[in-house]
Homo-oligomer: A and B are copies of this chain.
Amino acid sequence: MRLTGRRLAHVREVHRAAVGDRLSVGLLGGLLGSGRVTQLDSECLAMDITLDQSPPSKLPLTLMLALPRPKVLNRVLASATSLGVARIYLVNAWKVEKSYWKSPRMEGSNLLEQRILGLEQAKDTVLPELHLRRLFRPFVEEELPGITEGSLALVGHPGAPMPCPRAVQGPVTLAVGPEGGWIDAELLSLRGAGFQAVDLGPRILRTETAVAALVGRLC
């Protein structure tokens, strides 16, 4: 196996590896294992690799996320991937600015790279599914019922009488709103699609903090 570019720089600058060192490696979509460095210079790293371990299991969790602002998008994709979220839907909402959909960070190459960074962090090799849905209502009315089938579907809503459950056994679908929250019509649609509104406490959290805290609580 040969590495160049970002991953070569990471091995040189963060691991500070030398010829003969062993590094953890993984093949995208495949197994994990280790590699022994056989050659290393400023251009290229070569390794003899052995792949013999399965990647960690995914959480049975589907995340439906109102598209966050571009700066937050990168962090939340990498962090949700590192946490083991199985599927991510990025959806529109009333309070999502239209310009977010046109950000260069929405290009497929970036959406892939952020998930790969999350996999590298967590020593995982299996990409979470990622789907973009720019039309809220058709998605919620036509597609979402099939997605949530057999899962506990939860939407965070400040002041809901039910607190967010803990340590749920079985699949969960979790809807996380935009910075200003879901509007009433969106909450109504989500309830119509079988979502229960749950209270997440008095603190308003940034999207990537909220996602990590909810995964810790639910899974």
| Complex contact A82–B203 (CB within 8 A) | yes
State whether the Cβ of A110 lies closer than 8 Å to any Cβ in chain B.
no
| Complex contact A205–B167 (CB within 8 A) | no
- The contact size tier of chain A is 20 to 34
CA distance A124 to B204 in the complex (A): 9
| Complex contact A56–B216 (CB within 8 A) | no
- Which of B84, B124, B217 has a CB less than 8 Å from the CB of A216? B217
Closest residue on chain B to residue A24 by CB atoms: B204
CA distance A56 to B202 in the complex (A): 7
Among A84, A123, A201, A218, residue most surrounded by chain B Cβ atoms (within 10 Å): A201
CA distance A217 to B56 in the complex (A): 19
Question: Which B residues are in CB contact (< 8 Å) with A204?
Answer: 82, 121-123
State whether the Cβ of A215 lies closer than 8 Å to any Cβ in chain B.
yes
State whether the Cβ of A166 lies closer than 8 Å to any Cβ in chain B.
yes
Could you list 13 examples of A-B contacts with CB < 8 Å? A79-B206, A79-B208, A82-B209, A121-B205, A122-B204, A166-B166, A208-B208, A208-B212, A212-B212, A212-B213, A213-B213, A215-B216, A217-B217
Chain A residues with a Cβ under 8 A of chain B:
56, 79, 82-84, 121-124, 166-167, 201-206, 208-209, 212-218
Chain A to chain B: the 6 pairs with minimum beta-carbon distance, closest first: A216-B216, A212-B212, A213-B216, A216-B217, A122-B203, A56-B202
